[in-house]
Structure 1
Amino acid sequence: MDDYVFRRPKNVAAWSLKAKERPLVVGNAPYAMPPAGHVSIQVFDVAINPIDWLMQEGDLFGLKYPNILGLDVAGEVFEIGEDVSDFHVGQRVIAHCNGYSVNNPVHGAFQKYSIVPAHSVAELPYGIPTSVGVVLPLGISTAAAGLYQKGFLALPFPSEKPDKLDRAVIVWGGSSSVGSCCIQLAVASGLDVITTASPSNFAYCKKLGAKRVFNYHDKHVEDDIVKELEGKTVAGAYHAVGADGAIQACARIVDRCKGKAIVVTVRGVPDDGMPSSVRAKSISSSSIFENEVGPYIWRKFLPKALESKTIVPAPEPLVVGEELRSVQLGLDKQKAGVSAKKVVITNIS
């Protein structure tokens, strides 16, 4: 046992020492053995999401401090907890960390070794660099939360060879990280995807599988989308990103179309401007691990879909630095805004 303990690796993290304090401080961190149902991941790369800088600036969930932020990691399985039989040490993986939901720093992303529930880990094919695969985790989970959960859009689960359905879904903000995942997942569920983006990202959205892309700046965009959807049954709208008024625009569109009058959103539901006949719901990415959606997407679908290229990592990584000392730079870069890119920090370990 002494020899086992002695060989525990040295862990280092980019610490958030206090609520609403910057910058992150790089320092030693405890290495935690994975409990039952979890794996320890040696982190090679991390990706930055809007929620990460919002957590640093606003302490949205009232975390205990000091803490370790971050959700998206890619690397190798370092150690396996009990009751985990479908991974092996050294396996290349991507993972959605759950540090925010469990309020425990050992589960945060911004460290060399992170503890992650096995049901939110997916094998990464050798043809995909970890610095590329790391763009997916939170985007996939957030997209799946709105697309597949009961009470949300409740689409058929995706597959590598889906049956083509005579239905369409609207994705507002298709070039965003979540929007990119929404397009690919909805196509893998057999639906037509109608999305919005800036003209410079039209080709990008179509490459991911969108049937039509509309300019969200166009003053006639709502009329144009409604016309495009004539004769189609609409499964609802997914508001992935967008300025004030975008949720209401989605609601007005589905209100005028045949099908489900529902809008799911990554933001809060507005108090006004919504048609009374339209239902709107906010998305929580972590909720998919409380039902059948998370295990299906992460363990049954995603590993094979990455291998077959049914799902490709998108958007492209924007590498802004190396090592944990660069994570604060990544947070600041994400806050400043990026288009059809996801901020990535490489060479963590």
Structure 2
Amino acid sequence: MPFPNTNSTTASTGPKNVAAWALKPTHRPLVVSSAPYTTPPPGHVVIKVTDVAVNPIDWILQDDDLFKLSYPTVFGQDASGEIVQVADEVPDLSVGARVIAHCARKPGVDVPSGATGAFQKYVVVQAGAVAEIPPEIASSTGVVLPLGISTASAGLYQKAALALPFPSVDGKPDPLGRAVVIWGGSSSVGSCAVQLAVASGAEVVTTASPRNFEYCKKLGAAAVFDYHDEDVEDKIVKWLEGKTVAGAFHTVGKDGAVEACARIVERAEGKAIVVSVKPVDEEVKKRLPKSVRTKSIGASSIFSDEVGKHIWKEFLPQALRSGIVLPKPDPEVVGEELRSVQHGLDTQKRGVSARKVVVTKIS
């Protein structure tokens, strides 16, 4: 059965589209059914999706109607595939290009509910959130990057966050003379944050499980410590002696991780700020040193300032060609076609380590 919201002027006849629909809040499982093919509005493209990756926010949205969305809708933010339609005001992308995309609805754009969710065969994406990938990177590998890159960029480069200089495209950044603490270097966001911070000339100290120490070092981390250790904070503070910190980035972690980051930067020389991918509630703030500022960040915000354009248009395509940015963590393919997306959500919810859940052969 086809689903509604086809009244928008952007809905049109076209290729047969199919989506993995969330029918209503907290409903399980996703239902695979026909969907409108949506013509892209100005500044957008349509991508024929070949692969999708699953992020924690996807199963969180299924379990909890966090943002009070309009239903039925389509979840998903990480997609790869081929551009099949290009709207006006898109000078740098063309039909047939192999791309990865951060699928997120752009405020104020008239598209049907669900048209911008990744979990479908044809998705509408704002052109500023699309990057071409070189032939040597498989689409099922490149798809691990989009949301991680955008989230890491929001934390590292936005002026209200860590405000690092933009990363170098030649792989030879000027030394920043600053260290960045990244909590959770083997996570999806952490893997991107480590690589980007290093490309900006920062020294990176991160946390991970011992089995992922070498993984983090290969991404460029100068030091890695076990977040399980009772004295992990003391070890990081000792490593930071004689260095100046640009702040800490909480990319993942159980309760208490934000507080740990805050205590570390409070004891170190430099900028006393903790950037977090999660909201920092008032109860947590009461437990933080008074000298430490916190900033919660959202990935989509980079497309409203200069960060999104620089990272997605000027840096990422070149960085993927040169190997400055590697598609990490590695994909963990859990199935094929849209029927496997629900299994992907369930797998991600159970937890993966230094891997990202991917579903292939969507189209």
Taking structure 1 as the reference length, the TM-score comes to 0.97
SS at match of 2:216: helix
Residues 1:185 and 2:215 aligned together: no
Specify the alignment match of 2:207 in structure 1. Answer: 196
1:54-65 correspondence to structure 2 within 5 Å: 54-65=60-71
**Residue identity opposite 1:136 in structure 2:** L
SS at match of 2:148: helix
Specify the alignment match of 2:38 in structure 1. Answer: 32
Specify the alignment match of 1:292 in structure 2. Answer: 306
Structure 1 residue aligned with 2:260, among 229, 246, 249? 249
Structure 2 residue aligned with 1:43, among 42, 49, 54? 49
Segments of 5+ residues of structure 1 without an aligned counterpart are none
Greater Cα shift, 156-165 or 53-62: 156-165
How far does residue 283 in structure 1 lie from its aligned partner after superposition? Answer: 1.0
Q: C-alpha distance in 1, partners of 2:202/2:178?
A: 5
Q: C-alpha distance in 2, partners of 1:7/1:113?
A: 12
Residues 1:10 and 2:16 aligned together: yes
Is contact 1:149–1:293 with CA below 8 Å preserved after alignment? yes
Structure 2 residue aligned with 1:302, among 304, 308, 316? 316
SS at match of 1:294: helix
SS at match of 1:10: strand
Show CA shifts across 1:75-132 (max 9, x none).
Answer: 0011000011111111000000014967831111000000000000001111000000
Q: C-alpha distance in 2, partners of 1:72/1:6?
A: 24
How far does residue 37 in structure 1 lie from its aligned partner after superposition? Answer: 0.2
Which consecutive aligned stretches of 4+ in structure 1 deviate over 4 angstroms post-superposition?
100-103
Structure 1 residue aligned with 2:156, among 143, 147, 150? 147
Residues 1:259 and 2:273 aligned together: no
Is contact 2:71–2:113 with CA below 8 Å preserved after alignment? no
Q: C-alpha distance in 2, partners of 1:282/1:335?
A: 22
Q: C-alpha distance in 1, partners of 2:106/2:206?
A: 30
How far does residue 272 in structure 1 lie from its aligned partner after superposition? Answer: 2.7
Q: C-alpha distance in 1, partners of 2:106/2:58?
A: 10
SS at match of 1:27: strand
Segments of 5+ residues of structure 2 without an aligned counterpart are 1-10
In percent, how many aligned pairs have the same letter?
64
Q: C-alpha distance in 2, partners of 1:39/1:23?
A: 29
Is contact 2:12–2:38 with CA below 8 Å preserved after alignment? no
Residues 1:122 and 2:122 aligned together: no
SS at match of 1:30: strand
Show CA shifts across 1:177-208 (max 9, x none).
Answer: 00000000000000000000000000000000
SS at match of 1:19: coil
Q: C-alpha distance in 1, partners of 2:97/2:279?
A: 38
Specify the alignment match of 2:119 in structure 1. Answer: 110
Number of aligned positions between the proteins: 345
Q: C-alpha distance in 1, partners of 2:31/2:288?
A: 43
Residues 1:322 and 2:328 aligned together: no
Q: C-alpha distance in 2, partners of 1:87/1:120?
A: 11
Q: C-alpha distance in 2, partners of 1:141/1:322?
A: 26
Is contact 2:206–2:224 with CA below 8 Å preserved after alignment? yes
How far does residue 329 in structure 1 lie from its aligned partner after superposition? Answer: 0.2
Is contact 1:20–1:59 with CA below 8 Å preserved after alignment? yes
Greater Cα shift, 91-100 or 247-256: 91-100
Specify the alignment match of 1:313 in structure 2. Answer: 327
**Residue identity opposite 1:319 in structure 2:** V
How far does residue 41 in structure 1 lie from its aligned partner after superposition? Answer: 0.3
SS at match of 1:311: coil
